[in-house]
Chain A
């Protein structure tokens, strides 16, 4: 996804408002953007608080800055700078966190982003995008280039199985029309779920949806999802993010307000470090029950 982000921004490099700041990351990936933007590509060094507030200052002069780093260094380290200098002023600064969830795997817990969108969505005016597939990225980037306020883009690795044709991009998309539970996934996990559920018998196959734009509001929930819940009465939300502030909580809150909560709800989400041992993204997903086997088991109950 990072390379597609880079490519899309390179295509838009002639926009004189575009400025890109990186916290000294992007080796073997962002060089084309650096070359295309020239003095508007700024390696701000290992100083994320300064980088974020400089971006706010740049936006104050009419520019549209993008701020890039490994996800936790974009949202956690400079959190107050995002809150005060970007969000309070509704400035069009786009934060890009590479490696949502456990994507940095065995690099260790300091590099994981388990609470990024929950934390950021507590802030005024913030909009979050969690692309699920590589093809979502250019569409979202173009949306962000026109957005009037702050945004956060959580990048991961596309897990779309080969040969699958996706519906046209939208904030909510229906990926499978199974007769099993209604399932909502956020981010690239949607691809991983597709690859193990597409061949299930229809009775067990989920009615699978993917959501990419946050926060959720009652108005944003598609009628198709509501009618699916009405008939299935069983909702499973899957996301590589902690429960607090996650899609599961947001969606249930909206459904409760609407009086449309299904009878059964389960939430598969990041639960931290169960064994206090560390490993690949796959290892951590398994520990959290976010792996294919665990999801299949729940569907076949």
Chain B
């Protein structure tokens, strides 16, 4: 895991570089999701497994993760957010097998993951399904439709991580709806739920080890803008792009971490 932590550190710097080069925002929710994505793609996912990024605005973190396993190249990352690209700000269709569905509108990914899990079960196909959601996405009614469906159906192994960074586009998640995201809520649906530290790679890996049967939900507590002092827990980094000075400072902080 020590080696993976070093790889994640490099990935985090590369994520900043890609966003800075393309002059785009959404960096906060990418930094909060990166550790989960990196653990999944480096230590958990096998060819027969499927991963759905329901919080499609963390596309940057997924591209960097795919870069870190050699599925994307440096020249691909240069195309992020540019014209004539497959690396759009939210995931595009028909790109890589690792990206089975285009996402970006919230409240779709969990139903897609449920459909894939059900399809695998009906056809006795091997493999597990993993899905990463945002906490704001729990405001979408369709997410709850999916949870009801998942709880009721016998599905292939399905593991959900909810990136609980507590901030969304225009305020704090709990101030906007007051919805308390607790494990009890999910357990009342008959689903197994636990809380983990979404930046603790050992905890994420341990959670994934329990992914071989049934549905598991992990409320992964994370920090929006994780690792960069002036971004951490700041809502504005949902949207802002970095100035050159901010980028240099962010890199310096990551180097010394």
Pick from A50, A61, A63, A89: contact of B111, CB under 8 Å: A50
Closest to A63 in B: B119
Task: Compute how far the CA of A89 lies from the CA of B114 in the bound complex, rounded to whole angstroms.
Answer: 17
Chain A hits for B130, CB < 8 A = none
Selected from B101, B105, B148, the residue in CB contact (under 8 A) with A89 is B101
Chain B residue at minimum C-beta to C-beta distance from A46: B145
Q: Which residue of A lies closest to B121 (CB)?
A: A39
A58 contacts the other chain (CB 8 A): yes
Contacts A47-B149, A84-B105, A89-B101 given; indicate if A54 touches B114 (C-beta within 8 A).
Answer: yes
Q: Which residue of A lies closest to B140 (CB)?
A: A49
Given contacts A54-B114, A57-B114, A81-B111, contact A62 B148 (CB under 8 A): no
A85 x B112 contact (CB < 8 A): yes
Q: Which residues of B contact A (CB under 8 A)?
A: 93-94, 100-105, 107-108, 111-120, 122-123, 125, 141-142, 145-146, 148-149, 153
Q: Could you mark each residue 4-20 of chain A with 1 if its beta carbon is under 8 Å from any beta carbon of chain B, else 0?
A: 00000000000010010
Cβ–Cβ contact A84 & B108, under 8 A: yes
A147 sits at the interface (CB 8 A):
no
Q: Does A53 contact B (CB under 8 A)?
A: yes
Whole-angstrom CA separation of A55 from B117 in the bound complex = 11
Question: Top 8 A-B pairs ranked by shortest CB distance?
Answer: A57-B115, A61-B119, A53-B111, A50-B145, A47-B145, A54-B115, A49-B142, A57-B116
Seed contacts A57-B112, A58-B116, A60-B116; 19 additional CB < 8 Å A-B pairs: A16-B123, A42-B118, A45-B148, A47-B148, A49-B145, A50-B148, A50-B149, A53-B112, A54-B149, A56-B111, A56-B115, A57-B117, A60-B100, A60-B112, A84-B103, A85-B108, A89-B93, A89-B101, A89-B102
Closest to A43 in B: B152
Q: Give complex CA distance A61, B145 in Å.
A: 21
Contacts of B145 in A (CB 8 A): 47, 49-50
Chain A hits for B123, CB < 8 A: 16, 61-63
A57 and B125 within 8 A (CB) = no
User: Which residues of chain A have C-beta atoms less than 8 A from B149's C-beta?
Assistant: 44-45, 47, 50, 54
Kindly list chain B residues whose C-beta atoms are within 8 Å of the C-beta of A53: 108, 111-112, 114-115, 142, 146
Closest residue of chain A to B52 (Cβ to Cβ) is A57
Task: With both chains docked as a complex, state the minimum distance between the C-beta of A4 and any C-beta of chain B, in angstroms.
Answer: 26
Q: Please measure, in the bound complex, the distance between the C-alpha atom of A62 and the C-alpha atom of B149, giving whole angstroms.
A: 20
Nearest CB of A to B204, in Å: 24
Closest Cβ of chain B to A108, distance in Å, is: 23
CA distance A203 to B107 in the complex (A): 58
A213 to chain B, nearest CB (A): 25
A63, B112: Cβ atoms under 8 Å? no
Chain A residues with Cβ below 8 Å from B153 are 42
Bound-state Cα–Cα, A88 to B90, Å = 13
Q: From residue B140, how far is it (CB to closest CB) to chain A in Å?
A: 9
Interchain residue pairs with CB less than 8 A apart (14): A45-B149, A53-B111, A53-B115, A55-B115, A57-B114, A60-B100, A61-B123, A63-B122, A63-B123, A81-B108, A85-B101, A85-B111, A89-B93, A89-B102
Question: Is B118 touching A54 in the complex (CB atoms < 8 A)?
Answer: yes
A167 to B: closest C-beta gap in Å: 40
B127 to chain A: closest CB distance in Å? 10
CB distance from B115 to the nearest CB of A (A): 2
CA distance A56 to B112 in the complex (A): 6
A80 an interface residue at 8 Å Cβ cutoff? yes
Nearest-CB residue, chain B, relative to A47: B145
Q: Counting chain A CB atoms within 10 Å of each CB, which of B101, B115, B118, B125 scores highest?
A: B115
Name the CB-closest residue of A to B100.
A60
A39 and B142 form a contact (CB under 8 A) = no
**Residue among A54, A60, A62 with the highest chain B CB neighbour number at 10 A:** A54
Q: For the complex formed, measure the closest distance between the CB of B150 and the CB atoms of chain A, giving whole angstroms.
A: 9
**Judging by beta carbons under 8 Å apart, are A80 and B105 in contact?**
yes
**Nearest B residue to A65, CB-CB:** B115
Query: With the chains together, A50 CA to B153 CA distance in Å?
Result: 13
Q: Which of A24-69 contact B (CB under 8 A)?
A: 39-40, 42, 44-45, 47, 49-50, 52-63
What's the nearest-Cβ distance from chain A to residue B110, in Å? 8
A57 touching B93, Cβ below 8 Å: no
Shortest distance from the beta carbon of B98 to any chain A beta carbon, whole Å: 13
**What residues on B are CB-neighbors of A88 within 8 Å?**
93, 102
Which residue of B is nearest A124, CB measured?
Answer: B93
Q: How far is the CB of A271 from chain B (nearest CB, A)?
A: 32
A81 CB contact (under 8 Å) in B102, B116, B142, B148:
B142
Chain B minimum-CB-distance residue to A87:
B93
Known contacts being A49-B111, A84-B105, is A40 close to B119, with CB within 8 Å? no
